[in-house]
Structure 1
């Protein structure tokens, strides 16, 4: 998940290099299609991977979660301030923890809950530092409500993955789960894009745009969702999503590398809180016993109970 945070945090400057005026939803559908194709060889090696009806329905719901979050994010980008979006986004790990409790894939863990709150405060402090500390931009209206619903959908994704794994509905292979959820999400985002956006605008894409979308598809979507699915086999949803607090920290480091003149003391409090939260997660991981692993040929076999992540009894 550290590698996940590094890739995601470093991808934001890449997105800014895309040409203006391109349809966002259709670009995302293209990105997801490339990501799914990148996962196809790994999923193919896992053997027969076509899900049954129950698994197909769950993958469709997981894809709907992805489509819902990205669709609302692009819609809200022009209606909601960056500070408000950041404040709502940092609630995602807490939402994942709460939804995990509802679905029975999270145990009551006061320590993990405290770490999530600490990380949320730190990530919010980084967002305020980036905006110059302008609290007036922190609002909550219909646009913010829509984005918050998108955050709930995103938080539900690892919860459904963990729930489906625990009941044997989803494939035990992380690449297979990544492929089907990305494929379903890409189809749903593409359908909305064809309805809501001008398809002809995709013709304005330059070779550089195609290469950037390919990079984002393979690394920022394919690799990151695969890493998340791998982590889901060992961690609870709250612990997995807690690493999203590192994303603004990584983006801050990229900003410092590009613009050293913006370095200031205002970045220090949030950075320290985020680093402390992640260090506490690692300390919890180190303090947990390493279970006996079974060789089943799955990439999720290397499971370590950490950060309050307790596997159901039948999977130990």
Structure 2
């Protein structure tokens, strides 16, 4: 009895760590949206993403070597890293491309469609079932996302007027949603730092080849300082750290619950925009943001119900 009780407490502790990690994930990801909007006019999205992947990979390999995690088994079946990296490369490139024309809060709302997509991929890839409460929460969150995407205008929804930026970014979100369950499927117990470094290296290789002409054509010396700050932030925090968080949380929580924290991103984007002096979004979109927060609370309540 004591052993079973102790084991249950250990599992609950691990789940709690996964939730805490995803709160940090939401704040880190949210800041990428206003930052991305700042640098959109100055650098090609594929070039920016290739550089951030390369910088993040170098840092992660250094940490992995320092921690003694660069084991031989990490380099087995390298196709796995290219498969996972391709999905995230698609996500990041479409994100910065979309931010050229879409508002950060609207883009963050598109990001909140990920739990519904992840629930589908979670079942297809690793047969993770979705409970009735999770399905309800996902539906509410999806409704909130649509409200923000269409800017609280029912007539725009009726005409299905979606901006080009949101359309482009949606394809990246499909890749992001597939990443979480596919990581669970392809992970073979490799150390976290080395596993993340390998994915980032594969991503840098993919985008380095894809964007080679644009990389060579970029006038790096003429870029304003804000571009370099955003490259560092996105490389170290929004790429490296979030990769580690995703891997950490995915191995402790169901994929749909991991992605449920994307519902916090629009609210976090609003907070970051206010902090950066970029102003608040139109009041018409706030009910949609509120629905996304309700969705997260429903999913957390579902977690508590399973604990009791």
Does 2:35 correspond to 1:14? yes
Deviation at 1:82, TM superposition (A): 7.9
Alignment equivalent of 1:158, drawn from 180, 185, 188: 180
Q: 1:201 to 1:257 in 2, by over 3 A?
A: same
User: Partner residue of 1:111?
Assistant: 133
Q: 1:81 to 1:251 in 2, by over 3 A?
A: closer
Q: 1:52 to 1:3 in 2, by over 3 A?
A: closer
Measured in 2, the distance between the counterparts of 1:59 and 1:260 equals 37
TM-score (norm 1): 0.75
Alignment equivalent of 1:31, drawn from 45, 52, 57: 52
Deviation at 1:117, TM superposition (A): 1.6
User: Partner residue of 2:112?
Assistant: 90
Does 2:87 correspond to 1:65? yes
Alignment equivalent of 1:243, drawn from 261, 270, 288: 261
The Cα offsets for residues 24-52 of structure 1, whole Å up to 9 and x where unpaired, read as: 21111111122222322442315343446
Measured in 2, the distance between the counterparts of 1:258 and 1:81 equals 15
Whether the 8 Å contact between 1:122 and 1:270 is mirrored in structure 2 is yes
Deviation at 1:4, TM superposition (A): 0.5
Whether the 8 Å contact between 1:46 and 1:176 is mirrored in structure 2 is no
TM-score (norm 2): 0.77
User: Partner residue of 1:49?
Assistant: 71
Which segments of 5 or more consecutive residues in structure 2 lack a partner in the other structure? Answer: 1-21
More deviation in 103-112 or 67-76? Answer: 67-76
Q: 1:179 to 1:209 in 2, by over 3 A?
A: same
Deviation at 1:99, TM superposition (A): 1.1
Does 2:258 correspond to 1:254? no
Q: 1:10 to 1:145 in 2, by over 3 A?
A: closer
